[in-house]
Amino acid sequence: MAEQHPELPLENSPQPHGFEEDVEVRGHIIDSLILPKVLDCITNLGGSFAIKNISIGQERTDPSFALVQVRAATDHLLQTILAQIADHGAVATLASDCQVIEADIPGTFPEGFYSTTNQQTEVRLAGKWQPVADQEMDCGISVNHKGGQARCVPMTDVKVGMPIVVGHAGVRVFPLERTRQGHAFGFMNSAVSTEKPKGVVIRQIAELLYAHRKSAGKSLLVGGPAIVHTGSGELVCELIRGGYIHKLFAGNALATHDIEQSLFGTSLGVNLREGSLADAGHEHHLRAINRVRRVGSIRKAVEQGIITSGIMYECVKNGVEFLLAGSIRDDGPLPDVITDALENQRQMRLAIRDVSFCLMIATTLHSIAVGNLLPASVKVVCVDINPSTVIKLNDRGSFQTVGLVTDVEPFLRALVEEVKRLEKN
């Protein structure tokens, strides 16, 4: 007869402790009472456990296997527990340090490099687990043995001699539980919502913005030109003035049409008040770009009184950091637009380090680009009229995104109202 599935608690404490390590126990661990003994040992020493995986042998001679997460309040206690249960044959699955090879060609990783996710990751250096800084998907991990530090490094930033982690040994990932990640939007079962009451979601987004207004974590807006085309620019201005947006990532188009509106009252030549086409309106955006280029920067144009309203104006006036990334279809572009794609990535990486909430509105490619850079711990709300934008973000690994499929203008209008209501309360 095979080993019987034990009547064991799968977890003895739902509260996570600060320090944890996975151990495996294999053999006839049920009949020999080794597994219950290991679990008792963990508990008696003051730790807790969760059985992450257990497989029971089919035949009498088949071994069983259990993967147990051991948790303790301090590293010292964890090490004490690990040492004791090791005597009973429970050993850490990741008992080795990470393997490192020095980069030999600039801008490339060594073959077999560890490819990162956007999830919290740790590497083992000299027997100690160290957090990986600047967590970002699709990067490598560079380590500094002396300082016991590790960080994500994009391929293009690799320099010769940089120690790069290879293989999976000594690397562990802490996946954000997908059920838990939704706590901010607890009622939403699907990441993309087309047929759900939007009011509730918008209220929650407003609460997040409100909470972030004075927190250490910054709120980032990634916006497309539809914000201006739909006449919602003033709503964004209100959020900026209210201190709800700390950073803005956009392209040439949003800034151009925003400035066009400030100078000519049109967006892409359309009069935003009347919805009518202005005479020679199609030239407006180019004339706007030209005027800013003549003075050298958006900031200077604001300071010289050329730009007197709009999103960019409010950014300058309210100290909101903005980063304009260029593309091959840009007119002009505006002098502030960074046209080197890699330089854009670098600056965006630096700018997102203190971001903990990101609102993406009406831009597909820019949203995906920023989604690629953000660690999974950053909450992302993506608002687009097109569901595929949100789906694309999810498909590319930014599963922490909550999507709202709606027109931009009514969304922003409702959001501003909710924020104001919170302010009143």
Partner 1 sequence: MSTPQILMCPPQFYGIEYEINPWMSTARQADHALANQQWADLRAILEKTGSTIAEVVPVAGLPDLVFTANAALVFGKRAVLAHFKHAQRQGEEVHFRAWLEANGWEVIAPPPNFSFEGAGDALFCGDTLFAGYRMRSDARGHQAIVELLGVRVLPLELVDPYYYHLDTCFCPLAPDEAIYFPAAFDDYGRRVLAENVPHLHEVAEVEARNFACNAVVVGKSVITNTGCPELHSLLRSLDYNPVDTPLSEFVKAGGSAKCLTLRLDGEEAAGWKV
Q: Which residues bind partner 1 (CB under 8 A)?
A: 25-29, 31-34, 36-37, 60-61, 63, 86-89, 91
- CB-nearer residue toward partner 1: 61 or 179: 61
How many Å apart are CA 94 and CA 67, to the nearest integer?
12
Degrees, nearest 5: CA angle 295-268-405: 115
- CB-nearer residue toward partner 1: 41 or 137: 41
Phi/psi of residue 73, each to 5°? Answer: -75, -30
Largest CA distance in the chain: 89
Please measure the distance between the N-terminal and C-terminal CA atoms of the chain and give it in whole angstroms: 67
Residue 126 CB, shortest distance to partner 1, in Å, is: 20
Phi/psi of residue 402, each to 5°? Answer: -110, 125
Residue 42 CB, shortest distance to partner 1, in Å, is: 14
Residue 29 CB, shortest distance to partner 1, in Å, is: 8
CB-CB contact of 64 with 54 (8 Å)? yes
- CB-nearer residue toward partner 1: 73 or 95: 95
Tokens of 263: 């100078």
Residue 90 CB, shortest distance to partner 1, in Å, is: 8
CB-CB contact of 402 with 182 (8 Å)? yes
- CB-nearer residue toward partner 1: 22 or 234: 22
Residue 185 CB, shortest distance to partner 1, in Å, is: 45
Residue 46 CB, shortest distance to partner 1, in Å, is: 20
Residue 387 CB, shortest distance to partner 1, in Å, is: 51
Residue 371 CB, shortest distance to partner 1, in Å, is: 44
